[in-house]
Amino acid sequence: MSADELPTKEANVLRGHEGAVLAARFNADGNYCLSCGKDRTIRLWNPHRGIHIKTYKSHGREVRDVHVTQDNSKIISCGGDRQIFYWDVSTGRVIRKFRGHDSEIIDTFQDSVMSVCLTSSQLIAGSVDGTVRTFDIRIGRELSDYLGQPVNCISLSNDGNCVLASCLDSTLRLLDRSTGELLQEYKGHVCKSYKLDCFLTNSDAHVTGGSEDGYVFFWDLVDASVVSRFRAHASVVTSVSYHPKDNCMISASVDGTIRVWKT
């Protein structure tokens, strides 16, 4: 995919949140997206038609992250109330609540855990203490990689071989998942005081992430050059999510909007 084929043209603006939007995520097939924010709500949208479908309310404080299950039937969300909620998508009912507690896993960190990824056998977590830790769920083994800078977001490459970590020194770092080796660093954006998402595009050819100055960046995965940057929002870009199949992306911002980008 060339830089010309990256999604940088605004296709829709989704409005409805009161205050900052902290995360926006496509569902598994890319037909819908979820958003969450300071207004304590989760919202379900059809981003391609610009339609708001449903609002989910139960969190007592801001909702910081949201994900939908592979079969699109359940939502998992977490927030400032230190609870993880497990929702039924169709009824909007909370099925279960998981209260935050000091588990053995979290005890190994010296500071807040900002981001987690889950695979079939591993839990990968990034922390303000500067570490990315991998826990093997089956055998209980823990691996730790120290990056030297506070980690505020992590994501996995689509092939599962790499971990992308956003750090508060305005640098994204790509790590080999099995060895922890630093493969590449991506710079040019501003990330010093906000939790900003970072992802690889669905082809793993480019790295993308938001910036505190309202820009979205695309980097070449291999040589780390900035192949595209554009002003996406009037304020901090807190979240980006890439469509699982198409050249389409959504971004969310402190300005209260979610924007849909296409080629």
Give the domain CATH number at 190.
2.130.10.10
Q: Which residues contact 90 (CB under 8 A, 6 or more apart)?
A: 73
Number of domains in the chain: 1
Q: Report pLDDT for 114.
A: 76
Q: Using an 8 Å Cβ cutoff, are 68 and 25 in contact? A: yes
Q: Which of 23-27, 92-96, 99-103 has the lowest mean pLDDT?
A: 99-103
Residue 137 has pLDDT above 80, yes or no: no
Residue 109 has pLDDT above 90, yes or no: no
Percent of the chain's residues with pLDDT above 70: 94
Q: Report pLDDT for 68.
A: 86
Residue 106 has pLDDT above 60, yes or no: no
Widest Cα–Cα separation across the chain: 47
Computed over every residue of the chain, the mean pLDDT equals: 91
Q: Report pLDDT for 16.
A: 97
Q: What is the pTM of this model?
A: 0.89
Q: Report pLDDT for 232.
A: 98
Q: Is 88 helix (H, G, I), strand (E, B) or coil?
A: strand
Its domain, for residue 187, covers: 3-262
Backbone angles phi, psi at 34, to 5 degrees: -120, 145
Q: How confident is the model at residue 100 (pLDDT cuts 50, 70, 90)?
A: low
pLDDT in tens, 219-232: 999 999 999 999 99
* Cβ atoms within 10 Å of 69's Cβ, excluding its own: 14
Q: Report pLDDT for 105.
A: 47
Q: Which of 3-7, 49-53, 181-185, 244-248 has the lowest mean pLDDT?
A: 3-7
Q: What is the mean pLDDT of residues 78-82?
A: 78
Q: What is the mean pLDDT of residues 241-258?
A: 97
Q: Report pLDDT for 64.
A: 86
**Rounded Cα–Cα distance for residues 217 and 171 (Å):** 12
Pick the residue with more confidence: 1 or 126?
Answer: 126
Q: Which of 48-57, 70-79, 106-115, 123-132 has the lowest mean pLDDT?
A: 106-115
DSSP state letters, 90-123: TT--EEEEEE----HHHHT-SS-EEEEEE-SSEE
Backbone angles phi, psi at 132, to 5 degrees: -115, 120
Q: Report pLDDT for 101.
A: 44
